[in-house]
Amino acid sequence: MEKATDRAIHVHELRLHYLDWGGGGDKIILLLHGFMGHARVWDDLALALCARYRVLALDQRGHGDSEWSKDASYGMDRHFTDLSRFIDSLGVQKIMLVGHSMGGRNALFYTACVPEKVERLVLVDARLGNSPEASVALRRQLASLPLEAKALGEVVEALRSLYPYLPVKTCRHIAGHGYVKTRDGTFVPKYDARMSLQLEKAAYTTDDLWRMMQNVTCPTLLVRGEESPFVSREEARSTCAALPGARFQEIAGATHMPAQENPEAFKRAVLDFLDEP
Cα distances from 32 to residues 144, 150, 152, in angstroms, run 22, 29, 24
The pLDDT, as a whole number, for residue 1 is 45
Contact between residue 30 and residue 98 where contact means Cβ atoms under 8 Å apart? yes
The pLDDT, as a whole number, for residue 25 is 76
Q: What is the torsional sign of CA 240, 209, 103, 163?
A: negative
Q: Is 182 helix (H, G, I), strand (E, B) or coil?
A: coil
The residue ranges of the chain whose pLDDT is under 70 are 1-2
Q: Which residues contact 95 (CB under 8 A, 6 or more apart)?
A: 28, 29, 30, 87, 117, 118, 119
The 10s digit of each residue's pLDDT in 91-117 is 999 999 999 999 999 999 999 999 999
Rounded to whole angstroms, the Cα distance separating 18 from 46 reads 13
Beta 118-124 vs 220-225: how paired, if at all?
parallel
Q: Is 232 helix (H, G, I), strand (E, B) or coil?
A: coil
Ordered domains of the chain (ranges, CATH): 5-131+207-275 (3.40.50.1820)
Question: What's the whole-model pTM score?
Answer: 0.97
Contact between residue 113 and residue 105 where contact means Cβ atoms under 8 Å apart? no
Cα distances from 129 to residues 13, 29, 132, 238, in angstroms, run 30, 25, 11, 11
Rounded to whole angstroms, the Cα distance separating 55 from 29 reads 5
Q: Is 246 helix (H, G, I), strand (E, B) or coil?
A: coil
